[in-house]
Amino acid sequence: MNCAESEKRIYLYNELTPQERYETDEHVKTCTSCSLLMQRAIIMRNSIKVHSAHTTPMANHAQMTRRIMDAVETVQRKKTPSSRFFTHSLSWNAFRVSMAVLSFLLVITFLGEYNREAQGQQFTKRYPATPGHKTELDLASFHTAFMAAKEEHNQHGTVLSECVNQCLTPSSPDCRECAHKFVKPFLGKI
Amino acid sequence: MSDPSDQEIVEEVRRGSAQAFRHLVERHQAFVYRLAYRFLGTVGDAEDITQESFIRLWKTLDRYRADAKLTTWLYKIVTNLCLDHLKSWHNRRAKRTIELAGYSGLHSAFTADQELINDEFFAAIERLTDELSPKQKAVFVLRDMEQMTMSEVAEVLSMDARQLKSNLYYARKKVSEMVTLYYETKKAKP
């Protein structure tokens, strides 16, 4: 055994196996520096052991007890069933409900926007710009114009032509042109 | 009638008895304070940690298992709180500095290799342990000052045997070297 290993074992002497202790003791017998280190380690160990039996006196035992109990009582008061319900249950439930409502509103808003956009896309698909009418009609403009046209027809006691009615759900390019022609005069009034 | 066991008192506390908790505080506050003082070295910090330890005990009593000793549970609580405190460098440094000038009795005692069974020596050791890392200090305090077994220290610190031995070796070596250095310095100054 070399001195480095011996030094490590000296500091951990109480934690060694009997065999390790024997080997260490044998080395210490023949090594002056390790022997001195062992003596000091023993003195340190024994002194600490003797003194560890001494307890550090507490300033005031009763005062400390009262201080601890007051602190515990304060914590306990904060954790009464009603407050616990509020802090752990009510607030948690309120948080969950508000999150659910928020999520629901977000979904509704998203769906509304999506629907409107889808309708707009559908309309511009159905009624693309035609020659002489450069701007594509958006759904709202077309609807307003169509309602104005319909109103005027009603006032004059005329009935919307079958063609125009069909053009609300057009499938052929002719119908698109027809719808545009029908609505076009009313676009300027919007 | 014999004193009720810790387990019996814990059952009373779980049933809501504040008086039973007071009994636990009175029974264990001395060792909790002593341990906190050994870790932190100031009366104020030791008292604060003692109070905080019992609050934490009260809060965590539901999780305490009957097959473990209450003192081990408390050791864990106090040690963890002290380690948290020690890990704060400012706390560790601001409140204490190593001032061994007053321990004049150490020199002759150590150089003469006598039994160092005086309070001054122990106080010096306690102060010197401030130079250790928090983990090394924890191992040193629990094993050498509190005289706990290696398996108890391992449980309290949740440390395996190898880590434990390594920390213990470096802690003892450092303390021993610091004490030696101190006496050599004293010797050089007449």
Contact A44 B33 (CB under 8 A): no
B10/B62 same-domain check = yes
Query: What integer pLDDT is reported at residue A139 of this predicted model?
Result: 61
Q: Write the pLDDT tens digit of every residue in B130-180.
A: 888 899 999 999 999 888 999 999 999 999 999 999 999 999 999 888 877
Instruction: Judge whether residue A171 has pLDDT over 60.
Output: no
Query: Which residues on neighbouring strands pair with residue A133, listed in sequence order?
Result: A130
Note whether residue A78 is domain-resident.
no
Contact A65 B25 (CB under 8 A): yes
Note whether residue A63 is domain-resident.
no
Average pLDDT over residues B9-15: 87
Q: Which of B134, B138, B172, B130 is nearest to B155 (CA)?
A: B138
Instruction: Judge whether residue A15 has pLDDT over 80.
Output: yes
B121/B73 same-domain check = no
**Does the reported pTM lie above 0.90?**
no
Judged by average pLDDT, the poorest of A146-155, A159-168, B28-37, B170-179 is A159-168
Those residues whose C-beta lies under 8 Å from the C-beta of residue B99, and which sit 6 or more positions away, are B127
Identify the band that residue A43 occupies on the pLDDT scale cut at 50, 70 and 90.
confident
> What are residue A52's phi and psi, to 5 degrees?
-70, -15
Element (H, E) at B124: helix B119-128
C-alpha distances out from residue A99 to A88, A105, B108, Å: 16, 10, 73
Identify the band that residue A12 occupies on the pLDDT scale cut at 50, 70 and 90.
very high
User: Do B180 and A40 meet the contact criterion of CB atoms below 8 Å apart?
Assistant: yes
> What are residue B110's phi and psi, to 5 degrees?
-75, -45
Angle (deg, nearest 10), helices B70-87 and B18-40: 40
Question: In a 3-state reduction of DSSP, which class is residue A86?
Answer: helix
Measured CA to CA, the distance from residue B167 to residue B159 in angstroms comes to: 10
Measured CA to CA, the distance from residue B53 to residue B64 in angstroms comes to: 14
Q: What percent of chain A has pLDDT above 90?
A: 22
Query: Which residues on neighbouring strands pair with residue A130, listed in sequence order?
Result: A133
Query: Touching check for B150 and chain A: CB below 8 Å?
Result: yes
Q: Write the pLDDT tens digit of every residue in B79-106.
A: 999 998 888 755 555 555 443 433 333 4
Judged by average pLDDT, the poorest of B6-20, B102-116, B140-154 is B102-116
Contact A72 B121 (CB under 8 A): no
Residues of B with Cβ-Cβ distance to A59 under 8 angstroms:
43, 47
ipTM (interface predicted TM) = 0.75
Measured CA to CA, the distance from residue B32 to residue B13 in angstroms comes to: 19
B130/B175 same-domain check = yes
Number of independent structural domains in chain A: 3
Instruction: Judge whether residue A169 has pLDDT over 60.
Output: no
Number of independent structural domains in chain B: 2
Query: What integer pLDDT is reported at residue B40 of this predicted model?
Result: 86
- Kindly state the tokens that stand for B46: 């030791």
The size of the A-B interface in CB pairs under 8 A is 109
Question: In a 3-state reduction of DSSP, which class is residue A56?
Answer: coil
Query: Touching check for B147 and chain A: CB below 8 Å?
Result: yes
Q: Which of B51, B145, B169 sits opposite A48 (nearest CB)?
A: B145
* CATH number for position B28: 1.10.1740.10
Q: Which residue has the higher pLDDT, B28 or B89?
A: B28
* CATH number for position B113: 1.10.10.10
Residue of B nearest to A37 (CA): B176
Those residues whose C-beta lies under 8 Å from the C-beta of residue B41, and which sit 6 or more positions away, are B95, B96, B126, B127, B130
C-alpha distances out from residue B134 to A26, B65, B88, Å: 35, 27, 10
Q: Write the pLDDT tens digit of every residue in B40-69.
A: 888 888 899 999 999 999 988 888 887 778
A142/A113 same-domain check = no
User: What range does the domain containing B64 cover?
Assistant: 1-96
CA distance B57 to chain A (A): 10
Note whether residue A69 is domain-resident.
no
Residue where the block lists tokens 């009418």: A133
Residues of B with Cβ-Cβ distance to A58 under 8 angstroms:
29-30, 33
**Cα torsion angle, B8, B65, A92, A108, sign:** negative
Q: Which of A38, A49, A43, A50 is nearest to A11 (CA)?
A: A38
User: What range does the domain containing A37 cover?
Assistant: 3-51
Measured CA to CA, the distance from residue B7 to residue A121 in angstroms comes to: 74
B7/B89 same-domain check = yes
Query: What integer pLDDT is reported at residue B98 of this predicted model?
Result: 41
Q: Exposed, middle or buried, A190 (CB in 10 Å: 0-12/13-18/19+)?
A: exposed
Element (H, E) at B122: helix B119-128
A140/A177 same-domain check = yes
Query: What integer pLDDT is reported at residue A93 of this predicted model?
Result: 72
Where a domain ends, among B96, B129, B161?
B96
Note whether residue A75 is domain-resident.
no
Query: What integer pLDDT is reported at residue A131 of this predicted model?
Result: 47
B18/B85 same-domain check = yes
B2/B92 same-domain check = yes
Q: Write the pLDDT tens digit of every residue in A115-152.
A: 766 655 554 444 454 444 444 556 666 667 667 766 76
A116/A133 same-domain check = no
Q: Which residue has the higher pLDDT, B187 or A20?
A: A20
Note whether residue A66 is domain-resident.
no
Measured CA to CA, the distance from residue B111 to residue B121 in angstroms comes to: 13
Note whether residue A115 is domain-resident.
yes
Note whether residue A28 is domain-resident.
yes
Judged by average pLDDT, the poorest of A67-71, A95-99, B26-30 is A95-99
Q: What percent of chain A has pLDDT above 70?
A: 51
- Kindly state the tokens that stand for B161: 């045997």
Instruction: Judge whether residue A24 has pLDDT over 80.
Output: yes
Average pLDDT over residues A35-57: 78
